[in-house]
Amino acid sequence: MKLLILAGLLAGSAAAQLTDVPPVIQVVRRPGIASLSSKPYADAKAAVEVVGLTSATGLPETWMIESHPTFVSIEELDKAMAPGRRNSGNSQVDILSAPHTLIATYRPEWSYRPQEAVRMIARSRYFHVSIYRVRPGEDDNLNDLMHRRKAVFDSINLARPDLVYHVISGDASGVYLILAPLVSLKILDDGMAALPAYAEPIASAEASAQQKAAAAEQSREHLLFRVDPRISWVSDEFAAADQEFWRGKRP
């Protein structure tokens, strides 16, 4: 059993794994499209879902998204994997290829149709990831932006649900991840047709809202990732959504 994402789902019953949003995720980011494998998770008999992602845009990068029901789950996985075992899938580890690990907690009030998003993960082939960096003391303005974002999406019935997480360790304060699983890139075509600035809904707001958004945000980055089943570690219940994709033979 293993994660997301995104990418991932809670360990437990099949129903929980396919419908519950992970309250905590651990994201292991590594520069480059490394020759990773799921072997460290397999050796540790990891009881979480782990979705492996490789970059389709931006700099070459690999993300391993682990879904955890609690912080204790992270501790248990850390003990099981032991120091250095996260790196055992690489022939050589140095400072340039060393992982950058983040821990983030779920923000349900900012997520867009989260139950739909979590059910999509096992069938997804891509993830659209947005990284928001907010200036100190601007959380209230970000809250306004996120609620306006949801309202715009709802107004056009956008079929691109997502999950929002607040990074609480591993990066500067005020970093948020928006993880949108995509079954197909056609979802982006549909979103562009419905709202050309779908990734920037604040653009259609009044001037005061735009000013608040500009004041709150330090930076915003949008990335597209491919889901890679070869480096993912997912349970049979998770894989049942698409056995050929998750369990099929690979070259």
C-alpha to C-alpha distance for 139 and 1, rounded to whole angstroms:
35
Instruction: Tokens for 210, please give them.
Output: 């735009």
Q: Is 223 left (phi over 0), alpha (psi -120 to 50) or beta?
A: beta
Q: CATH number of the domain that 125 lies in? A: 3.30.70.100
Identify the pLDDT of residue 209.
Answer: 58
Instruction: Tokens for 172, please give them.
Output: 């500067």
Alpha carbon of 91 to those of 37, 150, 229: distances in Å?
Answer: 11, 44, 20
Identify the pLDDT of residue 33.
Answer: 77
pTM of the model: 0.82
What is 190-203 written as a DSSP string?
HHHHH-TTTT-GGG
Geometric angle at alpha carbon 123, from 48 and 54, rounded to 5°:
70
What proportion of the chain, given as a percentage, has pLDDT over 70?
75
Number of domains in the chain: 1
Q: Residue 105 — φ and ψ, nearest 5°?
A: -115, 150
Identify the pLDDT of residue 233.
Answer: 95
Highest mean pLDDT among 14-18, 111-115, 208-212: 111-115
Residue 212 scores a pLDDT above 60:
yes
Residue 205 scores a pLDDT above 80:
no
Between 49 and 196, the higher pLDDT residue: 49
Residue 195's CB is within 10 A of a number of other CB atoms, namely: 19
Residue 162 scores a pLDDT above 90:
yes
Tens digits of residue pLDDT in 27-81: 999 998 766 778 899 999 999 999 999 999 999 999 999 999 999 999 999 999 8
C-alpha to C-alpha distance for 143 and 202, rounded to whole angstroms:
12
Contacts of 133 (CB under 8 A, 6+ apart): 172, 174, 175, 217, 218, 219, 220
Structural domain harbouring 152: 2-247
Torsion from C-alpha of 55, 58, 59, 65, nearest 10 degrees: -40
219 forms bridges with which residues in the sheet?
A: 133
C-alpha to C-alpha distance for 2 and 233, rounded to whole angstroms:
5
pLDDT category of residue 191 using cuts at 50, 70 and 90: confident
Q: Is 235 left (phi over 0), alpha (psi -120 to 50) or beta?
A: beta
Lowest mean pLDDT among 58-72, 91-105, 190-204: 190-204
